[in-house]
Amino acid sequence: MRAVDIIEKKRDGKILSDEEIKFLLKNYLKGSIPDYQISAFLMAVYFKGMSDEELKSFTTEMINSGDIIDFKGTHKFLVDKHSTGGVGDKTTIALAPVLGALGMGTAKLSGKGLGHTGGTIDKFESIKGFKFSETREELIKLVNETGIGIMGYSDKIVPMDKKLYSLRDVTGTVSSIPLIASSIMSKKLAVHADAIILDVKVGSGAFMKTFEEAKKLAETMYKLGKLFHRNIVCMLSNMDEPLGYAVGNSLEVIEAIETLKGRGPKKFQDLIVKLSAQALKMKGDVKTLEEGIIIVEEVISSGRALTNLKKFIQASGGNPEICEDYSLLEVAKEVTPYLATEDGYISHIAADEIGRAAMMLGAGRATKDDIIDHSVGLVMKAKIGSYVKKGDTVLNFYHKGNLTENIVEVVKSALKYSKEKVQEKEIILEIIGG
């Protein structure tokens, strides 16, 4: 068997066998097939796609390239919620305590962010003294006590993905649906969870800019999950504007806490409630989303979810009093408003540009070696559909004297106004498999 024959076969649109895919990936991981041949294979996949059988074989090899993580020792229904990323996405901070209060557990690998703002780990680490579990035993103990099990990605989990992504990044093949699906799902399938909920973001602040692209990706990942006999649901959610109001690590932690107090931004609150209700449905505790919503709303209004977050913070070395006293979180003291340039309804917010402005302030990383400033960011005061008059505050910058004209111009270019009333979109656009 030769790599070139496999590449030519895929180039010509023929279906590869399980043995051919195994040969290609195993030998690439060992170093006996060079980057340039795998690059050619990736480009062939980009143009010709993959059949269901090929995608399953390809993903199986990805999973088997590294460690498989289980949570033996826990007695909870474990939920792995994954978002394809966006601006102001603090979902896990609010969702995990709700799931824990409902008697379920989170089984989730999280990373540090690259781009707009920090990842889930960065956001939690904006809490002074907070440290994630360093051993499996510590993690299991936390899951059993609070239902919240979050650990950092390890190079030992799906190492094939890292090798392949570095090639995809420089060969123009990042946007291939089968390659995106196998990259995401291999990491989900390498970690034991009783339910997988994929939150596929759609819009200007998401990787998938159009509903059609996002739905195709969601359907591919759903199909892949089912090929591995997993309990999976995909939600498509709107990312045509930042999620919630806050963009920036400490600011997002505060907004997540406010959501657990029932005072979060309406659309973000809605997302948390519906994701949690979906988990209850997948567990079998309820038959409909509506039944689940009633239970979740009670868990939040009673304060049980917030209490759970406090327990998790304390057990992780942080001060749970931050949930009542936000001055214990580091938030930049200099606040500068950005004012509307005309009268009208906000008709468009380029969420990716808002995220870029936050990154330029220091809330995110342009490169993996950049150091994040947890205290900076911005908070929206108007969203799509809001009516503003010229001179009204559209958002506030939180900074340390580093607010430049360039950053202001990025925000200015992100906003559009309309004289006509603008229709707001729902946060959840569609549910696949629910």
343 and 307 belong to one structural domain: no
Amino acid at 233: V
Residue 391: per-residue pLDDT: 98
| Residues counted in the chain | 434
- Rounded CA gap, 283 and 104, in Å? 9
Check: CB of residue 398 under 8 Å from CB of residue 378: yes
CA distance between the termini of the chain:
43
111 and 144 belong to one structural domain: yes
Instruction: Determine the Cα angle at 60 with ends 55 and 64, to 5°.
Output: 155
Question: What is the value of pTM for the model shown?
Answer: 0.93
Residue 116: per-residue pLDDT: 58
- Rounded CA gap, 434 and 424, in Å? 24
- Rounded CA gap, 133 and 142, in Å? 8
244 and 208 belong to one structural domain: yes
Q: Which of 78, 95, 18, 100 is nearest to 230 (CA)?
A: 78
Residue 62 lies in a domain: no
Summarize pLDDT for 325-349 with one digit per residue, the tens: 999 999 999 999 999 999 999 999 9
The CA distances from residue 212 to 49, 85, 208, in Å, are 17, 17, 9
Residue 63 lies in a domain: no
297 and 364 belong to one structural domain: no
Residue 156: per-residue pLDDT: 83
Check: CB of residue 188 under 8 Å from CB of residue 82: yes
Check: CB of residue 372 under 8 Å from CB of residue 364: yes
Strand ranges, E, within 39-107: 78-83, 105-106
Domain that holds residue 271: 78-323
Summarize pLDDT for 342-383 with one digit per residue, the tens: 999 999 999 999 999 999 999 988 777 788 999 999 999 999
Count of domains observed in the chain: 3
- Rounded CA gap, 274 and 268, in Å? 10
The CATH number of the domain holding residue 315 is: 3.40.1030.10
Check: CB of residue 71 under 8 Å from CB of residue 192: yes
The CATH number of the domain holding residue 372 is: 3.90.1170.30
347 and 307 belong to one structural domain: no
The CATH number of the domain holding residue 16 is: 1.20.970.10
The CA distances from residue 149 to 71, 194, 238, 337, in Å, are 9, 13, 27, 38
316 and 352 belong to one structural domain: no
The CA distances from residue 147 to 9, 22, 27, 79, 106, in Å, are 48, 37, 40, 10, 6
Residue 117: per-residue pLDDT: 61
pLDDT mean values, one per 10 residues, the chain (434 residues): 96 97 96 96 97 97 92 90 89 96 86 63 92 83 90 80 92 93 94 94 89 96 96 96 96 98 96 97 97 98 97 95 97 98 97 94 83 95 97 98 97 97 92 90
Residue 155: per-residue pLDDT: 72
Check: CB of residue 289 under 8 Å from CB of residue 296: no
239 and 355 belong to one structural domain: no
The residue out of 261, 292, 323 marking a domain boundary is 323
Q: Which of 309, 133, 107 is nearest to 192 (CA)?
A: 107
Measured torsion, CA atoms of residues 355, 361, 362, 367, in degrees rounded to the nearest 10? 60
Residues known to be catalytic: 82, 161, 168, 183, 187
310 and 397 belong to one structural domain: no
Element (H, E) at 349: strand 344-349
